[in-house]
Amino acid sequence: MALLIRFFKPFHVLSQFTDVDGRATLSRYIEREGVYPAGRLDFDSEGLLLLTNSGPLQARIANPRHKIQKTYLAQIEGRIADTDLNRLVDGVLLADGRSRAVRAARIEAPIELPPRDPPVAARRDATSTWLKVVMNTGRNRQVRRMLAAVGHPVLRLIRTEIGPWKLAPLKPGQWTQETVNLPR
């Protein structure tokens, strides 16, 4: 059995426990020894971050060869065309190779999300679109780079699921723990 922590990483918090530049880190929220992030979530992204005390579980979650699906809600600039949504699924060429989403679709603005602190500027919020993007890879800033490549920079990005684990009902800065069986 391994310990698994589900954490709602707030905006502008690093996915690590220390920072020489004095930015907010996981240590501000999680006071538990011997747990480490299973993957990363960008400083300017929010949402589900998993931490564990198990190397095998960490590798199973974070290693791209296992293709664990990750679901993101993305607030983007402007209105996205169906052709651009199709490009995300067909694949876009990034500097480090082709990248493709498993699924990408427009959604209504999610009312269950807590407001971001600081909020997205009102003038940008008024002309934005929300998407649900499912990925099974996890390269650096991949969702942001893909959306920029199709002409829609990200205003807000929230990871809501990693495999079977979900963000809800956590609020920013909250975490919960459970024990899980180790992967085979």
Q: Kindly list the domain boundaries of the chain, sorted by start residue.
A: 1-66+164-184, 69-162
What's the pLDDT score for residue 174? 97
Classified by CATH at the fold level, domain 1-66+164-184 comes out as Alpha-Beta Plaits (3.30.70)
Q: How far apart are CA 167 and CA 159, in angstroms?
A: 8
Give the angle 16-133-75 at the CA atoms, nearest 5°. 80
Q: How far apart are CA 133 and CA 77, in angstroms?
A: 15
What's the pLDDT score for residue 183? 66
Classified by CATH at the fold level, domain 69-162 comes out as Alpha-Beta Plaits (3.30.70)
Show Cβ contacts of residue 24 under 8 Å, excluding neighbours closer than 6 positions: 10, 12, 13, 14
Q: How far apart are CA 140 and CA 15, in angstroms?
A: 13
Q: Is 90 a catalytic residue?
A: no
Question: What is this structure's pTM?
Answer: 0.95
pLDDT tens figures, 76-125: 999 999 999 999 999 999 999 999 999 999 999 998 899 888 888 888 88
Q: How far apart are CA 50 and CA 144, in angstroms?
A: 20
- Given this chain, do its domains 1-66+164-184 and 69-162 carry the same CATH topology? yes
What pLDDT tens digit does each residue of the chain (184 aa) get?
A: 899 999 999 999 999 999 999 999 999 999 989 999 999 999 999 999 999 999 999 999 988 888 899 999 999 999 999 999 999 999 999 999 999 999 999 999 998 899 888 888 888 888 899 999 999 988 889 999 999 999 999 999 999 999 999 999 999 999 999 999 876 6
User: In the block, which residue shows the tokens 């990200």?
Assistant: 154
Exactly one of 19, 21, 42, 90 is catalytic; which is it?
A: 42
